[in-house]
Amino acid sequence: MFLFSRRGYWQELIESIVWAHNKLKVAHVTQPRALSIVQ
């Protein structure tokens, strides 16, 4: 339980979620472009 009360844990969790969200967003934007170039 004490792991959850640590601020560093939540900061790391939030940062990883934001990073994953940004990576997915970038992939979502670049994927259709890459497909249209191939076609």
* CA distances to 11, 12, 13, 21 from 17, in Å: 10, 9, 6, 6
Q: How far apart are CA 24 and CA 1, in angstroms?
A: 31
pLDDT tens digit sequence for 1-39: 455 566 678 788 899 999 999 998 888 777 776 666 665
Measured between its terminal Cα atoms, the distance across the chain in Å is 52
What would the two tokens of residue 11 be? 């900061």
What integer pLDDT is reported at residue 1 of this predicted model?
A: 47
Whether the CA torsion 6, 8, 11, 12 is positive or negative: it is: negative
Enumerate the domain spans of the chain.
Answer: 1-38
